[in-house]
Amino acid sequence: MGGAGGRPGFYVGLGLALASSAFIGGSFILKKKGLLRLCRRGRARAGQGGHAYLQEWLWWAGLLCMGVGEAANFAAYAFAPATLVTPLGALSVLVSAVLSSTFLNEQLNVHGKIGCILSILGSTVMVIHAPQEEEVCSLESMAEKLKDPGFILFAVCILVSSLLLIFVAGPRYGQSNVLVYVLVCSAIGSLSVSCVKGLGIALKELFSRKPVLKEPLVWVLLVCLVICISIQINYLNKALDIFNTSVVTPVYYVLFTTAVMMCSAILFKEWQHMVLDNIIGTISGFLTIVSGIFLLHAFRDAPFTPNLLPLFLQQGRADLHASWRSADRHQSCQHQPLLPSEDKGSQSAEEEEKEEGESV
């Protein structure tokens, strides 16, 4: 488990990734609370084209938290493997779900709670079995890796497939198949992570007072990052506008993380020196996180009623209720009045007086 800066650098990257998830997850709650305050005041809502949220300090606090989270995520790529940092981004969804149930009174059903637990377990497994990446300490070594024939072939395949999805599959199937636009975001996103990794290394060298701004690679990576992020935002917004968020979010997370793991494995040779148990642990942890995110989003609005239980559990539940009822009846019999004979005597006297009144 070593990153570009050894074990201490790995823990720095891990801490930055966790902090990023906490800040980004909390930013959604602050923004939502600010929008709800505006709604209670009767101001124009953002969905209706209003911009009153710009005057709400809670919204700006949420934006600041998101900026801090994104900066921490950016810095995490400079210390820890991308195969570790990217999947841990799922924890921001978990933080947002837990905080929304606490501060926004949004219901977190059984499926959501199970999904949160699975996400935590999967993240823990991935941290334990995190892959090692080849040491990249300078822009020169980063440039050498970018010239690798395997990575060049991967980048060409990504660009060609993205163009086919945009210009061929998009007009035909983009309105009916969620995979079209999400695949574009995921494929281009894998290249953006590589750019972020290179810029993170350049930033570390800049703090070491090296003249990195004179390196052409820095500006090439910056331009490529801006282009990739613009494409991602454009097609992710298209997917969110056409399809339900509960469908887009888990699909995008799975495809984006898979693409980033493939790109990192080719560019930084993260899987080359891993033993079999770490490979199995990394894949198992990733699949566990995927399962948790799927449960958290796909069944977010699904009610959990006893009728959804299997038949044998429903039968056991019915037997349990029957035993409780019999126990309650038995307990009620044990708490009869202490002098039942007096009650029976008074009841019989009342009946005799009633009969005498009728006969008269």
Is 62 inside a domain boundary?
no
Residue 164 above 70 pLDDT?
A: yes
CB 270 within 8 A of CB 81: yes
Domain count, the chain: 1
Question: What pLDDT score was predicted for residue 322?
Answer: 59
Question: What pLDDT score was predicted for residue 315?
Answer: 59
Amino acid at the residue 221:
L
Mean of all residue pLDDT scores within the chain: 75
Say how far residue 23 (Cα) sits from the centre of its chain. Answer: 13
Tens of pLDDT along 210-243? 887 888 888 999 999 999 988 987 887 788 677 7
CB 260 within 8 A of CB 193: yes
Is 138 inside a domain boundary?
yes
Tens of pLDDT along 169-199? 988 888 888 889 889 988 998 898 888 888 8
Is 17 inside a domain boundary?
no
Tens of pLDDT along 12-52? 888 888 888 888 878 777 777 777 777 776 655 544 445 56
Predicted TM-score of the model (pTM): 0.67
Is 320 inside a domain boundary?
no
Question: What pLDDT score was predicted for residue 245?
Answer: 61
Which band of pLDDT confidence, cut at 50, 70 and 90, is reported for residue 335?
A: very low
CA dist 331 and 160 (Å) reads 76
Is 218 inside a domain boundary?
yes
Is 199 inside a domain boundary?
yes
Is 10 inside a domain boundary?
no
Amino acid at the residue 329:
R
Q: Which domain holds residue 277?
A: 90-299
For residue 56, the SS3 value is: coil
Residue 7 above 80 pLDDT?
A: no
291-323 as b/e: b if 16+ CB within 10 A: bbbbbbbbbbeeeeeeeeeeeeeeeeeeeeeee
Is 44 inside a domain boundary?
no
Give whole-number Cα distances, 241 to 125, 162, 216, 238, in Å.
Answer: 35, 20, 38, 5
| Rounded percentage of the chain residues whose pLDDT exceeds 90 | 8
